[in-house]
Amino acid sequence: MNVIDLKRMANQIRQDIITMLVPAKSGHPGGSLSAADILTVLYFQEMRIRPDEPHWEERDRFVLSKGHAAPVLYAALAEKGYFPKEELLGLRQTGRMLQGHPDMKGIPGVDMSTGSLGQGFSAANGMALAGKMDGKDYRVYALLGDGELAEGQVWEAAMAAAHFKLDNLTAILDVNGLQIDGTTDEVMSSAPLPDKWRAFGWHVIELDGHDIEALLKGFDEAHRVKGRPTILIAKTVKGKGVSFMENAVGWHGNAPNAEQAEQALKALREEAVQLG
């Protein structure tokens, strides 16, 4: 895909997120919308994957460490063809496939079950280390939230990844500045982020998490780094693309009603038209 195609796909993924949350009447729109551009670049340009063969041994792996943002992952998987888009409307419903958090045993394309913050990042470390030990050339990608950094396990994993020189591991930090209880600075500041990750032995790339071209360049740079893991510190806007959700902590874990969803979808459709 070219940059315009990727922007169109990110817009569609945002529409999917809003659409699936309405019948669910629960879920996490804010952090899903903030990560839409990141997952678009990963699934439609960066990662080596086969939707028709989700357990292909040579595939790249993705771990959504901030598992509550499952809607953005489900939308990307559906758009990529891992399962029919109709499944999105069954989000969080009893007897349906798409649980509130990713389930690797029941959802095609999910490489790790996540939800307890910090644990997904550790699992990504294990996948990358296994790849090294097995002589495989697949890459592992892990998406973390900035609120997730309050978990001590994150920093244990960061230290281990550098110790084992996991240059096949790329972390992406979704820095939208908000978590369920307020701003990340108020709840538990992790600043200065670039300095901390460098001190833990990581190669650091700072970028705009909504800039498709910057994301493409960032992942390309990560490929060239040898001997240590890379993290893309991506500055984002929580609720990106839906004006009344942007930078609003109340939309961390609340689903829109039908009227709010229609307002959001109208704006996203107008943006899609502008993209051509």
For 143-188, the pLDDT digits (tens) are 999 999 999 999 999 999 999 999 999 999 999 999 989 999 999 9
* C-beta separation of 80 from 51 below 8 A: yes
**What is the residue range of 10's domain?**
3-275
Predicted pLDDT of residue 8: 98
Predicted pLDDT of residue 90: 97
CA pair distance 130, 191, nearest whole angstrom: 31
CA pair distance 276, 271, nearest whole angstrom: 9
Largest Cα span, the chain: 52
Predicted pLDDT of residue 276: 85
CA pair distance 83, 117, nearest whole angstrom: 26
CA pair distance 78, 86, nearest whole angstrom: 9
Average pLDDT over all residues of the chain: 97
Residues of the chain short of pLDDT 50, as ranges, are none
The DSSP result for the chain, as a single string, is: --HHHHHHHHHHHHHHHHHHHHHHT---HHHHHHTHHHHHHIIIII----TTSTT-TT--EEEESSGGGHHHHHHHHHHHTSS-GGGGGGTT-TTSS--SS--TTTSTT--S---STTHHHHHHHHHHHHHHHHT----EEEEEETGGGGSHHHHHHHHHHHHTT-TTEEEEEEE-SEETTEEHHHHH----HHHHHHHTT-EEEEEETT-HHHHHHHHHHHHH--SS-EEEEEE--TTTT-TTTTT-GGGSS----HHHHHHHHHHHHHHHHHH-
Give this prediction's pTM: 0.97
CATH number at residue 271: 3.40.50.970
Q: Report how far apart, in Å, the C-alpha atoms of 267 and of each of 20, 174, 207, 242 are.
A: 17, 23, 26, 7
- Which token pair is 171? 């972390």
Could you give the number of structural domains in the chain? 1
* C-beta separation of 52 from 82 below 8 A: no
What percent of the chain lies above the pLDDT cut of 90? 99
pLDDT digits (tens, 9 = 90+) for 111-134: 999 999 999 999 999 999 999 999
- Which token pair is 185? 């600075």
The residue type at 272? A
